[in-house]
Amino acid sequence: MHFSKYILAAFTSLIFCTIAHAQSGSPGMQQRGDMQSGPPSGMKDGKTGAERQAFDHQFLDTMSMHHARGIQMAELVKDHAAHDELKQIAQKMIDDEQKDIKQLQQMKEQWYAGKGDATNSRMRGMRESVQNHDKNMDKLRAAKDEKFDLMFIDMMSRHHTNGIRMAQQAISKAEHQEVKEFAKQIVEKQNQEKSEMAKMKKSWKEGNSKS
């Protein structure tokens, strides 16, 4: 199946619409146990609906959501950033993570078709990522130029750290070898991007100190 960038963009929008719908307290909330303030009544083990799904299913949907949030952040760079090198790495993040979402959802379709959404906001890495996402987005939207660039690097580096935590779980816990290999690639790629951003930040600070 061919996935254009427009379909991926629509998928990303659908993810956020699903969350908004669930958080509004609508009837669909019953299918999104991970978004509830507490475990549904009768669940003595305290597990949400998502946590009752296979780990691989949870990882595929949760990493898709995590990537969608990263794309949302990176899309602000084009109009807010001062440095071209940051704009370039942000566009690469968008392109790579759109491809990743496509791959994640293809694996889901292969193994968990018709089994619904298993996005687990309590999964290690995702739990930390969702806590301040909306506030961080507001701060990024309000910032421009050098202030934005430094803020973006700090926030995206933390976002990547949380993605790496999630992927490390998949390396040890996933059932499917394809998921393990995908998770290894996530760790490698996001560690590399963190390193590149740290070098950018250091070079900007050194340049400012000499001026």
Query: What is the average pLDDT across 120-147?
Result: 93
Q: Residue 210 — pLDDT band, cuts 50, 70, 90? A: low
Domains and their CATH numbers in the chain = 52-204 (1.20.1260.10)
Q: Which amino acid is at 18?
A: T
Full-model pTM: 0.79
194 Cβ neighbours under 8 A, 6+ residues apart:
157, 160, 161
Judged by average pLDDT, the poorest of 15-24, 141-150, 175-184 is: 15-24
Query: What is the average pLDDT across 190-203?
Result: 97
- Out of 121-135, 179-193, 195-209, give the one with best mean pLDDT: 179-193
